[in-house]
């Protein structure tokens, strides 16, 4: 195998990864990403199709993979995918650009093998999670995994919460975002107070994920900050 064959094989693998990561891609987008001509991308797509990869062409929109097709056969649970997303957010705070690039590319490949439903939830979690610059403090976050699940599945949760005055109340809340400051904080709409509130995770005495769903809040985390702060 000569260098050109090696480069093409590497590019075909990378194109497949891209198609598994992003739902819809055009030939010009792929050509720009891999620094080749659009004609070369057409040949690459044809080669992947001949190899049995179910690539669908949407007229005027681009290429997409048939729903359910995943390579390689690695399966992540939703909780494992959520843990990887949190790890990604931490790594993005690293000041070593090459390390961030390598890790981000690895996460991109991992996302490529997630089922679409889990991928969408993982992307939502990434958008709704923020870290401050100090990532070395010890944090009590025993409920983090359950809260991630409730946030991405829009499940109402019931908590027993102890405030700064040491008073405990039972709340029904709609989880919206997770913030890492000196402590893990949950941003949620509190049905008791009828407004968004911050809840420290180490003050949640008891947590129960309910079967009842809530209507997703139609705003991004940045829009929340702009509106309420």
User: pTM to 2 decimals?
Assistant: 0.56
Q: What is the pLDDT of residue 74?
A: 53
Cross-strand partners of 206? 160
CATH number at residue 191: 2.30.30
Residue span of the structural domain in which 169 resides: 144-228
Q: What is the pLDDT of residue 71?
A: 58
| Three-state SS annotation for 111-128 | HHCCCHHHHHHHHHHHHC
Q: Are residues 45 and 87 in the same domain?
A: no
**70 within a domain of the structure (yes/no):** no
Q: Are residues 120 and 47 in the same domain?
A: no
Pairing state of beta strands 195-200 and 184-190?
antiparallel
- What would the pLDDT profile of 109-145 be if each residue is shown by its tens digit? 767 667 667 778 877 887 888 766 544 444 455 688 8
Give how many domains the chain has, as a whole number.
3
Q: Are residues 157 and 223 in the same domain?
A: yes
Segments in the chain below pLDDT 70: 1-6, 70-77, 90-100, 102-103, 110, 112-113, 115-116, 131-142, 229
CATH number at residue 27: 1.10.10.10
Q: What is the pLDDT of residue 58?
A: 83
Q: Are residues 50 and 87 in the same domain?
A: no
**134 within a domain of the structure (yes/no):** no
Cα distance between residue 130 and residue 184, in whole Å:
10
Q: Which residues contact 55 (CB under 8 A, 6 or more apart)?
A: 19, 45, 48, 49, 63, 64, 65, 66
**11 within a domain of the structure (yes/no):** yes
**25 within a domain of the structure (yes/no):** yes
Q: Are residues 22 and 96 in the same domain?
A: no
CA dihedral 168→170→173→178, nearest 10 degrees, is 30
Residue of 55, 57, 61 whose CA lies nearest to 20: 55
**71 within a domain of the structure (yes/no):** no
């Amino acid at each position: 195998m000569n260098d050109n064959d090696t480069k093409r094989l590497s590019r075909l693998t990378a194109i497949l990864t891209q198609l598994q990561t992003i739902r819809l891609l055009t030939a010009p987008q792929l050509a720009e990403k891999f620094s080749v001509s659009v004609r070369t991308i057409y040949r690459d797509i044809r080669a992947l199709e001949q190899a049995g990869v179910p690539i669908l062409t949407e007229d005027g929109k681009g290429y997409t993979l048939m729903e359910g097709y995943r390579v390689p056969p690695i399966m992540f649970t939703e909780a494992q995918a959520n843990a990887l997303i949190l790890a990604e957010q931490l790594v993005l705070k690293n000041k070593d650009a090459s390390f961030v690039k390598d890790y981000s590319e690895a996460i991109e490949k991992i996302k490529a093998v997630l089922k679409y439903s889990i991928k969408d939830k993982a992307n939502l979690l990434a958008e709704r999670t923020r870290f401050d610059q100090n990532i070395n403090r010890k944090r009590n976050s025993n409920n983090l995994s359950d809260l991630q699940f409730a946030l991405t599945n829009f499940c109402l949760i019931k908590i027993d919460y102890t405030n700064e005055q040491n008073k405990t109340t039972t709340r029904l809340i709609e989880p919206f975002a997770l913030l890492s400051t000196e402590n893990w904080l949950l941003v949620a709409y509190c049905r008791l107070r009828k407004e968004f509130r911050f809840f420290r995770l180490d003050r949640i005495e008891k947590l129960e994920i309910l079967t009842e769903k809530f209507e997703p809040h139609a705003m991004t985390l940045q829009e929340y900050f702009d509106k309420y702060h």
